[in-house]
Structure 1
Amino acid sequence: MRIDMARQEPTRKVKDMSQITMSEMLKAGLHFGHQTRRWNPKMKQFILTQRNGIHIINLFKSLDMIDKAYDFIKQTVAHNGTVLFIGTKKQAQEAVQNQATRVNMPYVCERWLGGMLTNFQTVSTRVKRLKELEEMDFSDVRGSGLTKKELLLLEREKDKLAKQLGGIRNMNRTPSAMFVVDVNKEALAVEEAHKLGIPVVAIVDTNTDPDSVEYPIPANDDAIRGVELLTSLIADAVAEGLLEHAGKNSKSEGADAQPMAAWEKELLTNEGETSDKSAESKKAEESEESEKSE
C-alpha cells in the first residue's frame, strides 16, 4: 500500500523564522498513530488510512493545525506572555528541556506535581526555598554552624527540589499558555490549565481526544525525532514572538529602550537547530506489541 502523502513534497513556511516539510515529518515518523484498536473516534477527521493495524495520520491536516498553533504561540509571547513547556515522558524530556531553555521559557520534564498551577503560591514558596539552598556552601561545615549530617540532608533537599522545580524556578506567575507533548500522559497538567483558563497547545496522537485542548497538533507523540521537530518548531514561534515584543518595546521607548539580552540577540541568528538523532523510538505504551515500521 502506498501512502498518498509520500507522492508530494510540499514545504509549509510557518510564518517568518521556520519552515517544515512533509519529507521531514515523514522521516520523523509523525504520521504513525497507535494501533487501530486503541484509537479515539474523535481523531477520525485527522486519520488518513490504516496500515498493518496502525492508523496513519493525515499530515496535510497536521500542517494546518501547526500553522494555527504557531501563530497563537507567537502572538502570545509578542504580547509579553509566557509559555510553559511540558513533557515528562522519556521521549520528550530532553527536547522539552533543551528547547524551552533555548528561548528562556519555563518547563517541566520530570513528574508533574499536583497544584503546580492551581496552587501556585505554595509552589512558589518551594521555589524560594530552592533558591535559598542554592546559596549555601555545603562544604563549609565550620562556617555553616551545622553538622555534616545536617548539611548532607539539606543538600539532598536542594537536589530534590532542583529536579522537581528547576525548570520553573524563574516562572513568577502562572503561564499564558502551555505546550504539551502527550495529553494523556499530562492529563493532570491539562486539567489544571483548564481550571485557570490557560490555553493548551498539544501534540495529539490517535488515542487522544483532540477536543481536550485548544490547539491540537495531530502527530505521533512517541517518536523521539518527531517530538524534537515539533518542540523545536514551537520554540521557534516563541523566539519570533520575543523578537516582535522586543521590537515593539524599542519603538515605544525610543532612546530609553533597554538593550536586548545576549540570549535574545542569539535568536536573530539562531533559527532553532535541533540535534539530529538517528535512533527511532517505538511506542512506550505498547512495548509488548510489535514496533511500528514503515
Structure 2
Amino acid sequence: MNFKKRNPFYKDYTKTKAHIAHKSLYIEGKKRSHPYTVNFILGCKNKHTIINPYPFFDKFNRSLHVIGFFLKKRKSILIVNTNKEYANLIENFYNSTDLKNYSVSYCNEKWVGGFLTNWKRVYKSIQTFMEFSERFEKFILRNNIHFPRYKKMAQSFQGLKQNTFCERPCLIFLINPNENRHVVEEAVALNIPVVAITDSNTNLLGISYPIPGNSNSIEFVHYCLQWIARVITK
C-alpha cells in the first residue's frame, strides 16, 4: 500500500510547509542547523533544510499518544507560546475544543521566570489575581478605569484563570522552544516532560518528545493543534 495513502498524517502535511526548515547557510562560521537534529534532516533545497517526513510521523504519533495519556489521566497540561502571531490561534483552539473539561491551560505571553521552579509563589499570585478579577473586573471595564498593572496581569494569566489551575503542570507543550530555552530548563529541573515543535536549528536537549517541523509556519502549528483536538474528541 502506498505510504501517502496509509499514513493519516500525510494529508495536508506538505501544504502546511512543515518540511521546510531554516536556511542551511553558514553565517559567521556557524551552521544554522543544530547538530542534534541531524537525524530529522532529509537534505537541502533552495538553501533551506528539508525535514524528513518519516521521523516526523513517528515522533508526532508518539507525542499525540503522550498528550492523550495525560488527558485521559486528568493530568495538568500547560501549552506555552510566546509568539504573538500565534496568540489568537492558541486562544481560539482552547475555546473551541473540550479542553475546559480537562486540566489544560495556556500561556500566550512572556514566560515568568520561576513559573515552575518557584511554583508556590507563582500560584499564590495567580490565585490573588483571580479573586481580584472576579470581584472587580466588570467594575474596571464598565468605568473604563486605566489600570496598567491589572491589564498586564490579565494578559499574563489569561489562559490560566479560565481553569482550576491549582497544581504544577505535569506536561508542557511548547510551541516555540528556540525563544523559550528557559522553559525547557525549568521543566528538566523538575522532571516535567516537554513536547515541543522543533525546527532544524532547535537544541533538542531536555525536550522529551520533539515534533520535527517548521515552527515558523502558522499553518503547521494549526495542523498540530487540529490533531490534538482529534485526540481530545476520541
In the other structure, the counterpart of 1:126 is 125
In the other structure, the counterpart of 1:179 is 173
**What SS does structure 1 have at the residue aligned with 2:157?**
helix
Q: Structure 1 residues 11, 107: closer, same or farther in 2, change over 3 A?
A: farther
> Matched residues in 2 for 1:139 and 1:111: separation?
24
Matches within 5 A, 1:1-294: 9-13=4-8, 20=9, 22-37=10-25, 38-101=32-95, 102=97, 103-104=99-100, 105-134=104-133, 135-136=135-136, 137-138=138-139, 152=145, 155-169=147-161, 170=163, 171-237=165-231, 239=232, 267=233
Deviation at 1:8, TM superposition (A): 5.9
The question of whether the paired residues in 1 share the 8 Å contact of 2:194 and 2:209 is answered with yes
> Matched residues in 2 for 1:99 and 1:139: separation?
28
TM-score, normalised with respect to structure 1: 0.68
Query: What is the count of residue pairs matched by the alignment?
Result: 218
What amino acid does structure 2 have at the position aligned with 1:167? G
The question of whether the paired residues in 1 share the 8 Å contact of 2:23 and 2:48 is answered with yes
State, as a whole percentage, how many aligned pairs show the same letter.
27
What amino acid does structure 1 have at the position aligned with 2:155? K
Q: Structure 1 residues 133, 214: closer, same or farther in 2, change over 3 A?
A: same
Greater RCO (Cα-Cα under 8 Å, separation 6 or more): 2
> Matched residues in 2 for 1:106 and 1:125: separation?
17
**What SS does structure 1 have at the residue aligned with 2:12?**
helix
The one-character-per-residue Cα deviations of 1:155-199 (angstroms, maximum 9, x if unpaired) are 433222110112122311111101111211121111111111110
The one-character-per-residue Cα deviations of 1:245-293 (angstroms, maximum 9, x if unpaired) are xxxxxxxxxxxxxxxxxxxxxx47xxxxxxxxxxxxxxxxxxxxxxxxx
The question of whether the paired residues in 2 share the 8 Å contact of 1:133 and 1:158 is answered with no
The question of whether the paired residues in 1 share the 8 Å contact of 2:77 and 2:169 is answered with yes
> Any unmatched runs of 5+ in structure 1?
1-6, 14-19, 142-147, 240-266, 269-294
Bigger radius of gyration among the two:
1
> Any unmatched runs of 5+ in structure 2?
26-31
TM-score, normalised with respect to structure 2: 0.84
Deviation at 1:99, TM superposition (A): 2.4
The one-character-per-residue Cα deviations of 1:44-102 (angstroms, maximum 9, x if unpaired) are 11111100110000112100101111111111221221211111113432232222342
**What SS does structure 1 have at the residue aligned with 2:37?**
helix
Deviation at 1:114, TM superposition (A): 0.6
In the other structure, the counterpart of 1:16 is none
> Matched residues in 2 for 1:140 and 1:209: separation?
43
CA RMSD of aligned residues (A): 2.3
